[in-house]
């Protein structure tokens, strides 16, 4: 018997969380061994390790508490790795020396895989005077390009890459350039971007007032606030970036407002952090805590939730002591404040199990109730730890109780904090849980709705073939198990059918009782009007959210759902020859120039065709480049592909295989789409040539088909669009989940 609810769950564990020896041999024979390893390591700092190891193991078992991936993969391994997920780096000085010292710190942090955030508002704007050198400043965007190159270099060296977040204040003189930066598809690909929006700016937008752009006390120019807001909204509408962070609200609600000022977040936005701030993450799996799912007594076991939260808080507090840190200042920041981020996953599944429709008022009320319960249990558990082990070093009872989130906390919890102190300055956060949600049986991710009730993924086998495998949402799978073929109830909604304002209502309900922030994507239909789109952000502001991230499918961002075109009419099978065809003396063809981003020299691809009964088909290919590093593989491709073409048959599989090749160093954006490698780009050129000569009906047509016959025409049916290819497994279909491109096939996330 296996503990895993689906094959993909076991594959995720095997690939990402299973401990292996240096030679690749598994050190964790089962997932129970992984749980035991983590439980033992986190209990090692306790006075009675054996007793706490058993309690920690019980919390991990059955996927009830899900520590973040770095804890699952790193705890108890003896490796010099950080168990923290999120970092915000130090304030960038406005000097060349300080900027490049900050770049060095970023590289060291990224080398260990941490996702990092930076506020670039502290760098003087483009064109500002640089005293003493008779020069003008190049501006923060130019230095962001340097950070971007560093991230790509770290990744190309084989290190795990964490994502980067760049923020800029809405009153910085270069804010308009920042807003438009990622409209260049080759620029800042390693960054997520967010604008720091202040209360004053939102008031000016509402009143349609002037807005000064200021640096170091000097007003550089004035713009209309509403025009600047519309520029942010238009960029997000068309390009899905930048996001919006309501920075004044974050600082006003911060329990540590008396000890720090926040100006940036981690890459997915759920952790607003001060300079050198660090936070670790974990999630309670609400889907595993529902009694009598779909039955008349369906309910969340709130007593079990309280107990699980208390254990999880203790485990996460121990991580602060067990973890290593890339930089000493990060370790000191974590020790002084002991910030942790306990969140949830499986919320949408749990709501479906008790008969509530995600986004409905009743579901928002229930979410608010559950999140309040979690907050109370977390704070009381941390008070208990303070009685036992002492409060966090910067604790000041009067200042703490008068700050931020604590002002709305229940009076009995405030009284306990006043009397005993509290171990952790902040305790709750809702992080992206895409990978650990798959590992836990494909439960719904974080507080997101179910993305799809089921989808098909192609799994690469050891022999190089691929098999199709259905991946079913956890609650849907449980419904099938208990209700057989009964149709899904009306409350089984998914992300594509929800109104965007339903998303906002759920985010706002959860945020009310989360002391940090929330990573969430608000899915918008492609045909939403620009005015309605802007209303989503205003609703998020009005309802108390700390930030807002949307995703509207379009030609730039990629479609979420598409309608498959009718297949071409049947035609005669294409013969495959035992012997290659003879080459005529002259052939018609075309030469294409391909310049892959980051490559010094272009590649020239010549495709020559042969006429077979009035129909052109590719006969040979020549691939050339001045870059001698490419020589061996371009010659090999030329010979192998030409040999295949000369054998005849349906050679469209060549395109399929090339387009599936991914480069572990990362691909590139070309003409508004993500191309996972230079070989995939070559496959795209060959495919477009096949379309141009009539060998393929359209891009993607005929691929993954029976090589001996084409399918008969069929009625159009909705199916998932390919989307960007995954840089980890090469499969198409990456989608935006919790503000991060995520692969449904292997769980890889661009946010690390």
Summarised one tens digit per residue, pLDDT across range 620-652 is: 999 988 877 778 888 888 888 988 888 877 788
Model pLDDT for residues 198-229, shown as the tens digit of each residue: 999 999 999 999 999 999 999 999 999 999 99
Give the whole-angstrom CA distance, residue 18 versus residue 10: 10
On the question of pLDDT at 378 being above 90, the answer is yes
Token look-up 């070559």 returns 682
Greater pLDDT, 85 or 300: 300
Greater pLDDT, 741 or 616: 616
Give the whole-angstrom CA distance, residue 658 versus residue 171: 46
On the question of pLDDT at 533 being above 70, the answer is yes
Confidence of residue 541 (pLDDT cuts 50, 70, 90): very high
Q: CA angle, corner 406, sides to 404 and 411, nearest 5?
A: 150
Query: Which residues have a Cβ under 8 Å from the Cβ of 524 and sit 6 or more positions away?
Result: 500, 533, 536, 550, 551, 552
Q: How high is the pLDDT of residue 158?
A: 44
Greater pLDDT, 480 or 457: 480
Confidence of residue 511 (pLDDT cuts 50, 70, 90): very high
On the question of pLDDT at 713 being above 70, the answer is no
Active site residue 270: yes
Evaluate the CA torsion angle 654, 655, 657, 661 in order and state its sign: positive
Confidence of residue 725 (pLDDT cuts 50, 70, 90): low
| Residue 467 burial (CB count, 10 A) | 9
Model pLDDT for residues 92-102, shown as the tens digit of each residue: 999 999 999 99
User: For 183-203, what is the mean pLDDT?
Assistant: 92
Token look-up 């090469």 returns 730
Least confident of 9-23, 188-202, 485-499, 734-748: 734-748
Q: Quick one: 362 exposed, middle or buried, by C-beta within 10 A (0-12, 13-18, 19+)?
A: middle
- C-alpha 462: how far from chain center: 28
Q: Across 106-110, 404-408, 669-673, 701-705, which has the greatest mean pLDDT?
A: 404-408
Least confident of 405-409, 517-521, 542-546, 719-723: 719-723
| Residue 261 burial (CB count, 10 A) | 13
Q: How high is the pLDDT of residue 565?
A: 40
On the question of pLDDT at 723 being above 90, the answer is no
On the question of pLDDT at 560 being above 60, the answer is no
Greater pLDDT, 631 or 489: 489
State whether residue 119 is helix, strand or coil: strand
Strands 86-88 and 115-119, sheet pairing = parallel
Query: Which residues have a Cβ under 8 Å from the Cβ of 388 and sit 6 or more positions away?
Result: none
Q: How high is the pLDDT of residue 198?
A: 98
Give the whole-angstrom CA distance, residue 30 versus residue 10: 10
Whether the full predicted model's pTM is greater than 0.85, yes or no, is: no
On the question of pLDDT at 583 being above 60, the answer is yes
Structure tokens at 58: 């019980």
Catalytic residue among 268, 279, 524, 740: 268
Give the whole-angstrom CA distance, residue 280 versus residue 330: 12
On the question of pLDDT at 727 being above 80, the answer is no
Q: How high is the pLDDT of residue 263?
A: 97
Q: How high is the pLDDT of residue 185?
A: 76
Evaluate the CA torsion angle 264, 266, 269, 274 in order and state its sign: negative
DSSP label of 628: G
Model pLDDT for residues 676-711, shown as the tens digit of each residue: 888 889 998 999 998 888 888 777 655 543 333 333
Give the whole-angstrom CA distance, residue 577 versus residue 579: 5
Question: What dihedral do alpha carbons 354, 359, 360, 361 form, nearest 10°?
Answer: 100
Catalytic residue among 260, 270, 333, 738: 270
Model pLDDT for residues 232-253, shown as the tens digit of each residue: 999 999 999 999 999 999 999 9
User: For 258-280, what is the mean pLDDT?
Assistant: 95
Rg of the chain in Å (alpha carbons)? 27
Least confident of 223-232, 299-308, 617-626: 617-626
Instruction: Indicate the average pLDDT of the chain.
Output: 87
Active site residue 268: yes
Structure tokens at 197: 């929006």
On the question of pLDDT at 369 being above 70, the answer is yes
Catalytic residue among 192, 251, 255, 266: 266
């Amino acid at each position: 018997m296996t503990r895993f609810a689906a094959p993909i769950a076991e594959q995720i564990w095997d690939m990402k969380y299973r401990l292996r020896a240096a030679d690749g041999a598994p050190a964790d024979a089962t997932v129970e061994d992984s749980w035991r390893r983590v439980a033992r390591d986190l209990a090692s700092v306790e006075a009675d390790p054996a007793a706490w190891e058993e309690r920690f193991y019980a919390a991990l078992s059955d996927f009830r508490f899900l520590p973040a991936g770095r804890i699952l993969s790193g705890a108890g391994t003896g490796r010099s790795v950080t168990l923290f997920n999120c970092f915000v780096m130090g304030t960038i000085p406005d000097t060349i020396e300080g900027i490049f010292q900050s770049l060095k710190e970023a590289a060291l942090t990224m080398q260990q895989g941490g996702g990092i955030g930076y506020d670039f508002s502290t760098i003087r704007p483009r064109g500002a005077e640089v005293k003493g050198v008779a020069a003008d400043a190049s501006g923060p965007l130019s230095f962001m390009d340097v950070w971007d190159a560093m991230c790509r270099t770290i990744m190309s060296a084989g290190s795990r890459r964490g994502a980067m977040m760049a923020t800029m204040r809405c009153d910085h003189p270069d804010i308009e350039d920042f807003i438009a930066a990622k409209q260049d598809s080759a620029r800042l690909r390693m960054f997520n971007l967010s604008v720091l929006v202040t209360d004053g700016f939102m008031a000016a937008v509402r009143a349609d007032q002037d807005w000064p752009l200021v640096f170091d006390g000097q007003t550089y120019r004035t713009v209309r606030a509403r025009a600047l807001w519309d520029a942010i909204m238009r960029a997000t509408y068309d390009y899905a970036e930048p996001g919006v962070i309501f920075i004044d609200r974050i600082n006003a609600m911060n329990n540590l407002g008396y000890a720090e000022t926040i100006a940036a977040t981690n890459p997915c936005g759920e952790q607003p952090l001060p300079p050198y701030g660090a936070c670790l993450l974990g999630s309670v799996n609400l889907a595993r805590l529902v009694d009598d799912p779909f039955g008349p007594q369906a309910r969340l076991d709130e007593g079990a939730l309280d107990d699980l939260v208390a254990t999880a808080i203790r485990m996460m507090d121990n991580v602060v002591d067990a973890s290593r840190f890339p930089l000493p200042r990060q370790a000191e920041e974590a020790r002084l404040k002991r910030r942790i981020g306990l969140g949830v996953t499986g919320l949408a599944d749990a709501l479906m199990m008790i008969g509530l429709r995600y986004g409905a008022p009743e579901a928002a009320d229930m979410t608010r109730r559950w999140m309040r319960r979690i907050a109370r249990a977390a704070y009381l558990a941390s008070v208990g730890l303070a009685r036992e082990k002492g409060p966090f070093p910067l604790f000041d009872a009067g200042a703490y109780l008068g700050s931020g989130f604590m002002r709305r906390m229940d009076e009995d919890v405030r009284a306990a904090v006043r009397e005993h102190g509290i171990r952790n300055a902040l305790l709750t956060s809702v992080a992206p849980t895409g990978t650990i949600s798959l590992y836990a049986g494909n439960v719904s991710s974080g507080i997101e709705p179910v993305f799809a009730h089921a989808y098909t993924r192609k799994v690469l086998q050891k022999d190089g073939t691929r098999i199709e495998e259905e991946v079913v949402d956890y609650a849907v799978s449980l419904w099938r198990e208990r209700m057989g073929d009964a149709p899904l109830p009306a409350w089984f909604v998914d992300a594509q059918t929800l109104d965007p304002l339903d998303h906002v209502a759920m985010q706002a309900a959860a945020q009310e009782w989360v002391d940090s922030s929330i990573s969430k994507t608000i899915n918008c239909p492609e045909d939403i009007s620009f005015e309605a789109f802007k209303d989503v952000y205003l609703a998020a502001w009005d309802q108390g959210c700390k930030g807002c991230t949307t995703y509207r499918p379009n030609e730039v961002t990629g479609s979420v759902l598409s309608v498959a075109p009718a297949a071409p009419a049947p035609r005669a099978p294409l013969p495959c020859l035992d012997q290659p065809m003879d080459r005529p003396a002259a052939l018609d063809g075309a030469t294409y120039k391909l310049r892959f981003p980051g490559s010094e020299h272009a590649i020239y691809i010549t495709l020559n065709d042969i006429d077979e009964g009035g129909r052109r088909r590719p006969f040979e290919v020549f691939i050339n480049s001045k870059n001698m590093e490419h020589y061996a593989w371009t010659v090999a491709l030329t010979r192998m592909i030409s040999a295949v073409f000369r054998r005849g048959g349906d050679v469209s599989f060549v395109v399929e295989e090339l387009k599936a090749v991914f480069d572990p160093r990362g691909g590139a954006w070309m003409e508004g789409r993500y191309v996972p490698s230079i070989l995939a780009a070559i496959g795209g050129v060959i495919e477009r040539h096949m379309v141009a000569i009539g060998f393929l009906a359209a891009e993607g047509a005929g691929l993954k088909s029976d090589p001996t016959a084409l399918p008969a025409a069929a009625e159009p049916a909705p199916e998932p669009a390919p989307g960007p290819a995954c840089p980890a497994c090469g499969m198409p279909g990456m989608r935006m989940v919790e503000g991060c491109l995520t692969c449904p096939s292997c769980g890889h996330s661009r946010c690390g």
